[in-house]
Amino acid sequence: MGKTLLALLALMLLMSTATAQEDTITVEDINQFIQIYNANVDQVPDFIKSIISNEKINIEVSTAQGTLQFYAVMQDSTIQSGSVGSLDDATLLISTSEETIRRIAASPDPVGELKIALNTGDVSYSGLGFFSSIKYGIISFLSGLFGF
Kindly report, residue by residue over 97-148, the tens digit of the pLDDT. 888 877 877 788 776 787 788 778 898 877 888 777 777 667 666 666 555 5
Here the CATH number for the domain that contains residue 44 is: 3.30.1050
How many domains, the chain? Answer: 1
Residue of higher predicted confidence among 10 and 99: 99
pTM score > 0.75 for this model?
Answer: no
pLDDT averaged over the chain? 75
- Which domain does 17 fall in, by range? 3-146
Lowest mean pLDDT among 47-51, 67-71, 101-105: 47-51
Angle at 14 between CA 140 and CA 143, to 5 degrees: 15
